[in-house]
A and B are shown apart, each in its own frame.
Chain A
């Protein structure tokens, strides 16, 4: 998967998400999820890494589904009514759909983007999607900068202890730390912008690309797979009559 152009991965994930999001029904989401689970082992992600990265999705899905079960639109037989809680056949159906939907959309996103090289991604966005180079490269340079702050963060924490303020007020300290990191990164960002301009960046001159961004069969294959998956899920849902447009 890391060999596939990140832009192709992005398109595949977006395609899947947008098609699945158009409906709220358990069948389309369930079919999509099943197919995805079959394909995940081929994505090149290690077992432990997969579970670690998708943990938040697995937690959020049932909770979101539960929300709908409890407060969803009522239809069919009522099972429970208590204050604003209204559990009905309809809300259970919608809740199940929501649960599966979160998984069907969230899991492939994590898998597709687990190991994306920022430089390759930037190259892809600028060369393949023809987004303006100034914005793409400038943004990625800024993004990279903030990722380098691990050492600073540790120093900032130790400094708080040294200054005598680390005994209480954890939330305040976290806010202070976040602010200090904001300041440091903005200053470095401004300096980096100057350095980039000094190397001719942003001058409006037509630039060349040191690294090619290939977009070939493999990339179209991944996009095709995403489209196929979305198509099958939708088709099954339509055929079984459960496809349910979200608006209306």
Chain B
């Protein structure tokens, strides 16, 4: 009969003595960040940051073109930055994941050199916070599509406000309104639905096996 008793804990690296000695029945959900959570969150953040760099450069001119059409419409492109936080929250599922990923992605995009300098970090913080608040509201327990969409929406709102205060402080009301609305829409579609689909596709490849996100929806083998 296997020995029972005591609580299994992460192994102290240099311990002498027993490593493990109990039986547990179901995997418990822990909100503490593991090393793999941190490293993969960084990886997602960097990959997103690289996409940002491309998005920054590639959409700079189209954004101004859209703006010429209808000022404030360029908010439709905002989703291209908002997805990072939402994706981070959906994959890592720990408190602060959305904020962390959005911040590191912004940090990377700032380091490579972009037109907004260190204030990219402030943007990143705003976007991440917007996404994070939704996950928090659901107590980090619900990661379904509608939660992702809400997360994207709030991130869109946060980034619109951030941009209006810092980059477009002289803008008039119609501009501001259109900008906020398009930013939210972009957040819902690109960051919400897009991130959710991306997370599912990643899980299907088996790359997320060490995460709850990678294990749900797959039957026991």
Contact = CB atoms under 8 A, between A and B. Distances in A.
Interface of A: 10, 13-14, 17, 21, 24, 53-54, 56-57, 59-61, 63-64, 66-68, 70-74, 84-86, 90-91, 94-95, 97-98, 102, 105-110, 113-114, 116, 134-135, 138-143, 145-147, 178-179, 181-183, 185-190, 192-194, 196-197, 200-203, 205, 246-247
Contacts of B14: 200
A178 B51 contact: yes
19 contacts: A17-B117, A17-B118, A54-B113, A57-B114, A61-B115, A84-B174, A94-B170, A98-B167, A109-B118, A134-B38, A135-B100, A143-B46, A147-B46, A178-B51, A186-B207, A200-B14, A201-B35, A203-B12, A203-B13
Given A68-B170, A141-B42, A183-B202, A105 B35 contact: no
Contact of A193 (B39, B110, B111, B114): B39
A142 B38 contact: yes
A68 B205 contact: no
- Give the 3 A-B residue pairs with the shortest CB-CB distance, closest first: A142-B42, A138-B38, A109-B117
Contacts of A196: 35, 39
Nearest to B111: A113
A206 to B, nearest CB: 13
A39 to B, nearest CB: 16
B42 A116 contact: no
A193 B35 contact: yes
Contacts of B166: 21, 246
A59 B175 CA distance: 22
B168 interface: yes
A18 to B, nearest CB: 8
Contact of A63 (B64, B71, B168, B198): B64
B110 A189 contact: no
Contacts of B205: 183
Contact of B42 (A61, A70, A139): A139
Contacts of A202: 34-35, 38
Interface in B180-205: 198, 201-202, 205
Interface string B95-137: 0000010001000101101111111010000000000000000
Contacts of B108: 143
Given A56-B56, A57-B115, A192-B39, A71 B45 contact: no
Contacts of A67: 64, 67, 71, 168
Contacts of B64: 63, 66-67
Contacts of A54: 113
Contacts of B113: 53-54, 56-57, 109-110, 113-114
Contacts of A188: 43
Contacts of A134: 33, 35, 38
Contacts of A140: 42
Interface of B: 10, 12-14, 33-36, 38-47, 50-51, 56-57, 60-61, 64, 67, 70-72, 100, 104, 108, 110-111, 113-119, 121, 165-172, 174-175, 198, 201-202, 205, 207-210
Nearest to A74: B172
Nearest to A90: B170
A97 B50 CA distance: 30
B119 A17 contact: yes
B47 A182 contact: yes
Contact of A113 (B43, B110, B202): B110
A196 B38 CA distance: 11
Given A71-B172, A142-B45, A202-B34, A190 B40 contact: yes
Contacts of A135: 33, 38, 100
Contacts of B71: 67, 70-71, 84-85
Contacts of B46: 142-143, 145-147, 185
Contacts of B198: 179, 182
Given A61-B115, A67-B168, A109-B118, 20 more contacts: A17-B119, A57-B113, A71-B172, A73-B170, A85-B71, A109-B110, A116-B111, A135-B33, A139-B42, A142-B40, A146-B46, A178-B47, A181-B47, A185-B43, A190-B36, A190-B209, A193-B34, A197-B35, A197-B36, A246-B165
